């Protein structure tokens, strides 16, 4: 698939037309305050994985609504002192998977926390283990329109809250160094990491790869690929509700979280990516508030982005931060 979005020089200047709601900060402050009324109750249970170079802990903590959320904490086997912490969020439809799928960051000498995404984990990888006990209004199959009738009901309100609580849970373990915490992820995980970057004020760094959930006014009208296409198909049936839907989505747009980012950031974009079009990625990158920011551009890649090459870029980049 050839390039289909803006030329690279225009991407570097592109700004989203998405407007943050006036009560954006109040909405998220209240949401997190309500979540913190529940005891975090982070529990770490050792797992026998047959792996000798890492220690794996099965984690359960209280996310949105006090609901139990799962994760893995993977540590270098010889760890005795607090380590730099990587908190990773996974792509759309995936779950925390199996521990042996995720050995890179512990192999680099860091603690690695992988959050399970509620209700997902049945589309690829090693699966997930976290239910989403909250119901919602009629939705198109998938997750993008669940509860889209109002910001208070929207699915990603729960997921982004879980993600903030995941950082808190990971930091509560004695072998993690809270001052050297990095949020990262690819696609949906990249979008979640941007949200965390705007909601958690003291991260050491944020690394969103080809992030999803950015610049909804453009993404929902530019590409016909799923998952963004779920929103268009919902509106194809629910005619006349576009303004209402865009209002809900404005509370979850990565562009607005990026404008509140307080940590150094490494983004990536792929110029043939029709799942998360490069202009929507640049919209978040260009809005990122911290002046120490970099974006790696993969000219002839689709949604796989930089793949293992970008893993190497992150390993090298993170040496300066965590």
* Residues involved in catalysis: 187, 273, 303
- The residues near 152 (Cβ < 8 Å, ≥ 6 apart) are none
Q: Which two tokens stand for residue 44?
A: 């770490």
Inter-CA distances, 131 with 41, 58, 117, 177, 179, Å? 17, 16, 9, 29, 31
What is the DSSP track for 175-205? TEEEEEEEEEEETHHHHHHHHHHHH-TT-SE
List residues bridging with 293 in a β-sheet: 265
Phi, psi of 134 (to 5 degrees): -95, 130
Spatial separation of the C-alpha atoms in residues 133 and 210, rounded to whole Å? 29
Spatial separation of the C-alpha atoms in residues 284 and 212, rounded to whole Å? 10
Q: Which two tokens stand for residue 34?
A: 């309500």
């Amino acid at each position: 698939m050839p390039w289909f979005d803006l030329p690279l020089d225009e991407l570097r200047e592109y700004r989203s037309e998405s407007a943050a709601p006036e009560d954006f900060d109040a909405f998220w402050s209240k949401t997190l305050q309500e979540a913190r009324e529940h005891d975090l109750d982070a529990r770490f249970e050792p797992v026998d994985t047959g792996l000798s170079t890492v220690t794996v802990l099965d984690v359960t903590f209280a996310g949105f609504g006090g609901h139990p959320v799962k994760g893995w904490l993977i540590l270098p086997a010889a760890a005795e002192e607090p380590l730099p912490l990587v908190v990773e969020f996974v792509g759309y439809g995936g779950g925390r998977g199996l521990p042996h799928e995720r050995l890179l960051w512990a192999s680099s000498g860091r603690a690695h926390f992988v959050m399970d995404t509620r209700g997902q984990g049945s589309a690829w990888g090693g699966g997930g283990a976290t239910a989403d006990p909250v119901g919602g209004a009629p939705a198109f199959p998938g997750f993008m329109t669940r509860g889209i009738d109002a910001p208070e009901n929207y699915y990603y309100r729960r997921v982004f809250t879980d993600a903030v609580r995941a950082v808190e849970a990971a930091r509560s373990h004695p072998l993690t160094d809270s001052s050297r915490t990095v949020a990262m992820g690819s696609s949906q995980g990249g979008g979640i990491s941007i949200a965390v970057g705007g909601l958690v004020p003291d991260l050491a760094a944020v690394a969103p790869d080809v992030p999803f959930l950015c610049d909804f006014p453009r993404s929902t009208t530019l590409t016909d690929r799923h998952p963004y296409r779920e929103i268009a198909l919902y509106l194809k049936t629910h005619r006349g509700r576009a303004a209402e839907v865009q209002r809900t989505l404005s509370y979850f747009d990565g562009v607005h979280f990026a404008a509140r980012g307080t940590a150094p950031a490494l983004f990536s974009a792929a110029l043939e990516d029709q799942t998360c079009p490069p202009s929507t990625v640049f919209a978040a990158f260009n809005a990122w508030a911290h002046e120490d920011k970099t974006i790696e551009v993969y000219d002839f890649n689709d949604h796989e982005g930089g793949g293992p090459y970008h893993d190497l870029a992150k390993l090298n980049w993170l040496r300066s931060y965590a």
